[in-house]
Structure 1
Amino acid sequence: MIRQAVIDDVSLAKAVRRAGGRVWLGLADRVDSIRPYPDLADLWRMVARSAYAQLRHNPPALLGTVAGLALVYLAPPVTLAAGLLTGDGPAAWAGGAAWAVMTGTYLPMLRYYRQPPWLAPLLPYTALLYLLMTVDSAVRHYRGQGAAWKGRTYARPEAAPDR
C-alpha cells in the first residue's frame, strides 16, 4: 500500500493511525532534508508530482485551492497595484494593508528558519509559484502522465478513495 503511494509519508501516517498509533506533525529543529532541490525545476517537479494527488484528484478541490491562494496571497498586491494605477486610494490602502499583515505574519517563520526578513514581502510570489505548480500537477494528471518519483512513474489512478 505504501510502496505504490505517490505521497508515501501520508500513507504511512494513515497506516500508523489505523494500527492505533499516534502521529505528530510539527516544526522540529533537528530535521534535515535528504533530498536537495537545488533549483526551481527540481522543486517544481517535486510539488507537481504530489499536489493534485494531495487534493485527491478532485476538480472542485483544485478550484477551491486556486481560488483560495489567489484571494489570500495574490489579491492584496494586485489590489494595491490597481489602486495606485487608477488613483483609488481606499483600494490601494486596503491592498497595501493586507499585504503588510501578510508580510508581518510571515516574519516569525522566516526567523525560525533563519532566513532574511526582506523575503517576507515576496510571499505572494511564492504563492503564485505554488499555485502554478499545483495546476501543472493537475494538467499532468489529466494528460495521463502520472506522477514521476524515485525513478518510477505512477499510473493515473481511476479513482481517488480516502483510505
Structure 2
Amino acid sequence: MSFDEIYLKANIRAVHNWPKEGVTFRDITPLLQQPKPFRMVIDALTQRYINHEIDRIAAIDSRGFLIGSVLAYNLNKPLILVRKKDKLPPPVISESYNLEYGAATVEIQQGSCKEGDKVLIIDDIIATGGTMMAASTLLKSQGAEVFEAAALIDLPDLNGSTLLQNIGIGVYSLCAFEGES
C-alpha cells in the first residue's frame, strides 16, 4: 500500500450497519471537506486519463457527480449524468439493477452520447458493480464504448470489479477496502 492510499483511506469514514444491518458504508464526506485529499483524488484521476482518448465522462448519481464533474472540467470533456430514476427530464432511457442492499434504476438522457464515443464511467465506489454495469448497458445502447470504470474506492469482497472485468470493462480505483466491506 502506498503512502497516498494510506492517507486517502484515513480520510474515508466507515459507518457500520448503515443503511442497513451488516453493511459498512464508506463515507467520503471527510475527504470532500478537506482540500488536500480531495485534490489528491482529482489530480490522480486527471493524471491517469489526461493522455487517453476519452470522448465523455459518465458520472453516477450522486457522489460520482462530485468527482466526475471536476474531472470532466480538468480533461475538457462533456459530462453525462447517470441519475436515479425520475430525476432527469425526458427523453431518457432506463436500466434497473441490484445493489448490495436492494434494487434501483438509473437513467441517462437519450442522445447524451453517440456511436463510437469512448466513455469513462466514474463513481465514488465499486461494490457489487450493479450501478456501473447498468450505466454501461445504457451507454452501449446508445452506441458508445466503455473505456474504463473508475472509482475512488473498491470493495473487492463484493465482486463488483470482477464482474465488470468479466464483461470486458477495465477497472481502476484509488484505494480498496479488502476484507473490510
Instruction: Check whether TM > 0.5.
Output: no
Q: Greater relative contact order (Cα 8 A, min sep 6): structure 1 or 2?
A: 1
TM band (smaller chain): under 0.3
Q: TM-score, normalising length from structure 1?
A: 0.27
Q: TM-score, normalising length from structure 2?
A: 0.25
Choose 1 or 2 for highest CA Rg.
1
Identify the structure with the greater helix proportion: 1
